[in-house]
Chain A
Amino acid sequence: MRNSYTPHTEQDVKSMLDTIGVGSIEELFSPIPRELRVKSFNLAPGLSEFDALNKMQSLSARNNTQDVQFMGGGFYDHFIPATADALASRGDFYTAYTPYQPEASQGTLQALYEYQTSVCNLFGMDVSNASLYDGGTALAEAVLMAFRATRNRDTVLIDANVNPLYRDIVKSYLSPLGFKIKEIASNDYQLNRKELISAIDEQVASVVLQNPNFFGTVDDYTDIADASHSKGALMILSAYPLSLGLLKSPGEMNADIATAEGQSLGLPLSFGGPYLGILTANEKYIRSMPGRIVGRTVDKDGNDAFVLTLQPREQHIRREKATSNICSNQGLCALRALIYMSLIGRGGLKELSKTIYDKTQYAKKALAGIKSLKIPETPCFNEFVIELPGDAGQFRDALSKKGISAGIPLGTFYPAMKNRLLVAVTEKRTREEIDALAAAIREAVL
């Protein structure tokens, strides 16, 4: 069966070849020397739509999406309103390109401007770009941005409580550039303030923190912003968007750059992507920002018009001197996040943050009632650590047999934490599911 999605009839091909003045399509490839032609192209024949979707269905069925999900680690099982799916599935949005021609792209451009506005409001920051790939690369780009903005500094300080996956990405990005990374060891799931503050000196371009941190600990880093600024360093804060209906915003802590993984704003988990890299900053650093930025201006009749702006920062103009090599953004993901924020709305955000907080505290309390468990007292929002009387991976496996994905065993990232499990709660987890988690853990530790 032929299945190539090209509309040409034999007659079309013939008349087009006649116009071009060649006898066959193969002749069109004559500029390619014979000796450069393929040595092999050993692929299966095309499938019908029915057969292809059946194959995909059988692959997708071999993935565990049934367990009640208490894993988080920066990526959370939130509810996505049907409206978000319906609107983001409109072909006029998702089959458009980067809005290079503003007159043909006002829909995308206005939406990105509204996205920038919403994200700035959420994070309490002055300016946002039109999105980056994900939370990890957004943090790495923020660290590079801070080196540009501070000039002639060579060190970044990173709290070891920042998501280990993100710290790895920052390390990967910095390794060819000669900058130094100094990690500040965790102090019982919290920032070691003393050690961090004494490490800030005139060589430090930025201090990187996360709130809530990887272990779920909530903090107020206003003092760290002050300490950073007193030495001319910037504070970069990675935050969890849905916590910001309740928690102090990066702007309120005087962060200079705030980044986030935007997945919680209406994006499916989708095994790691596509996600949404949020990057916001103090206005004075806008020209050091990576990525696209949408601005409002007027058209020739004085009407509001939206365009890509400050493009001389970007690779298609500045080439090797650009602020980043980034060419795309996550346009559709940013649109989804905007739609989600519009649906949840101002009141809904507060309510949702509170629900997540309340359910998490309920879970923490339920688990704290189990004798052989130890749960740290540190304040948390949506996630917390439990210390088990044995290997956390084995407990996890035991609970998985009951249809519960109990959390992330921490030994993979912190070898000394083999017995600890990171448990996350979202608004989707019911009281009954939380009770079932507690009952299953109680049974497993006996």
Chain B
Amino acid sequence: MKTPLIFDASVKGRGAAALPASGVPEPAALPANMTRRNEAILPELSELDVVRHFTNLSRKNFSVDTHFYPLGSCTMKYNIKSCERAAAMPGFNDLHPFYTYLPGGSQEVSGALEMIYDFERILSEICGMDGFTCQPMAGAHGEYAGIRMIEAYHKAKGNNKKYVIVPDTSHGTNPASAAMAGYEVITIPSLPDGSMDIDALKSAITSEAAAIMMTCPNTLGLFETGVREISEIAHSHDALMYYDGANLNAILGKVRPGDIGFDVVHINVHKTFGTPHGGGGPGAGPVGVKSVLLPYLPLPKIVKGADGSFSVITDDADSIGKMAPFFGNFGVLVKAYTYTLLLGKEGLIDVAEKAVLNANYIMEKLKPYYDLPYDRRCMHECVFSASAQGKHGVSALDIAKFLIDREIHPPTVYFPLIVKEAMMVEPTETESKETIDGFIGIMIEAARLAETDPAILKNSPVHASIGRPDETKAARQIDVKMNCGL
């Protein structure tokens, strides 16, 4: 059913929330040139109208709370409710951030500082790093902060560095983050088995390489077994190793980036530590570094004194400066920290084990029905190709849309870019065998329909709130807001 746009549902003069009264004498007005001429048009609805509008919109979403969501690389695991409760505690939720910059302000926020400090310590142990910052507000923001620290390191050493190396399986954010830090980007191809081509790396790398950015396991869900050699090659050119933590959830308690040669790591807390994705955010992207990079951590940073008290450093000439005004997305960090408390050592190891178990089970069960371009033991996700179904005119997109009709969120499609008709499945550890078997059954049904009745796939979805949208029209006839009569 169509939910009218909120401005279409508005009735002039209607209103919702009752506001606190002014209760003070009428002051002198501002000079006329400083005040608004044309009133801002906002919706006009009763509180019940607003509640119905958004409740109805919410029901047009697939979400982890309502649907299986095997969106590869995005790690749609269950978001533990008690983490939400922790973040909503008034002592966190209502805390003004400016205490950060007050002389003596640390004492007013000692609980918050201790939490961040302890989280940084836990993350350092999980990743095998020497220090962490919680400032970055998303994974890509963490990449940027990490590359900036690498840049500061090279600058301090007088190194002449011009480019950053990424594999062709990398997330788009890696080259984009490197470019924002002023670096050129060199892309290294993958071998037929899905791992980085080390010979190609050897011939590409020179003393002008600032860093190699890798995801491990990579975006094919495969562990880069040559990572030690790659890091030795990098370090022999004084290039640093950057670990994109998008897939850290697969190796918790099994491998630590810091033990295998990485100098910088960012974590997507929504992937590894189960914070909700919020329909696109907010996330948080803490960054860990080895000791050589500690001087460059962004500001402000928290230190623990000999007496156990916490204080904030707001000024430091070596630091790359501020990436965020305070300590990043604090409310998200509270949830991630609570998650680590709840799971503890054994629980975190269990995360990796069950995620890998679920993914390998799906890979094994669907192998007879879909091409598996990299037929190796996978980690937490597996990448199929719909190219066999292509013979019947069916694409990965058609299968994705069919899944929507069957009330399952589609896998990531068309990524990684090196796999034709890619379908990247990541079940996560929180899904049960029954849910996964249900998904497998529907995927098998899709494969059969591709042979017997492809039109069903090509015409889906038919049960969703809309049919397939015309994306070309969206890009050509740009309509990014309603005309509200202005």
Contacts and interface: CB of A to CB of B under 8 A. Distances in A.
B259 to A, nearest CB: 5
B90 interface: yes
B430 interface: yes
A110 to B, nearest CB: 6
A24 B16 CA distance: 59
B181 to A, nearest CB: 5
Contacts of A252: 36-38
B336 interface: no
Nearest to B108: A64
Interface stretch (A152-160, A202-210, A269-277, A382-390): A269-277
A316 B172 CA distance: 4
B456 interface: no
Interface string A236-256: 000000001111110010000
A332 interface: yes
Interface string B12-25: 01111101111111
Contacts of A316: 171-173, 415
A298 B90 contact: no
B91 interface: yes
B320 interface: yes
A42 interface: yes
B20 A355 contact: yes
27 contacts: A38-B255, A42-B125, A43-B345, A47-B344, A60-B86, A65-B94, A92-B61, A95-B66, A96-B63, A96-B278, A96-B279, A106-B60, A106-B61, A133-B137, A172-B322, A272-B326, A286-B478, A292-B280, A299-B467, A299-B470, A300-B467, A301-B467, A331-B277, A331-B279, A342-B53, A344-B19, A355-B20
Interface residues of A, number: 207
A271 B471 contact: no
B238 interface: no
A75 B66 CA distance: 35
Interface stretch (A182-190, A193-201, A357-365): A357-365
B50 interface: yes
Interface centre among A301, A325, A357 (most CB of B within 10 A): A325
A232 to B, nearest CB: 24
Size class of the contact patch on chain B: 35 or more
A208 to B, nearest CB: 16
Given A5-B78, A269-B95, A345 B15 contact: yes
Contacts of A332: 276, 278-282
Give me the 4 closest cross-chain CB pairs, A-B, nearest first: A272-B326, A60-B91, A46-B344, A91-B65
Nearest to A101: B410
Nearest to A353: B36
B290 interface: no
A44 to B, nearest CB: 6
B260 A305 contact: no
A114 interface: yes
A30 B254 CA distance: 11
Contacts of B54: 87, 90, 93, 111, 335, 339, 342
Interface string B96-110: 111111111000111
Contact of A354 (B5, B22, B141, B415): B22
Given A271-B327, A324-B180, A96 B61 contact: yes
Given A96-B279, A108-B279, A412-B101, A118 B43 contact: yes
Nearest to A249: B36
B329 A325 contact: no
A342 B478 contact: no
Contacts of A409: 102-103
Contact of A307 (B61, B256, B474): B474
A394 B128 CA distance: 43
A92 B65 contact: yes
Interface in A79-114: 79, 81, 83, 86-87, 89-108, 110-111, 113-114
A404 B177 CA distance: 43
A246 B36 contact: yes
B304 interface: no
Nearest to B222: A31
Given A95-B276, A104-B62, A345-B14, 16 more contacts: A43-B344, A63-B112, A64-B95, A92-B63, A94-B79, A98-B74, A104-B61, A176-B148, A298-B473, A300-B467, A317-B172, A328-B281, A342-B54, A351-B19, A358-B25, A431-B23
A16 interface: yes
A172 B114 contact: no
Interface in A357-377: 357-359, 361-362, 365
Nearest to B78: A5
A274 B10 CA distance: 29
B41 interface: yes
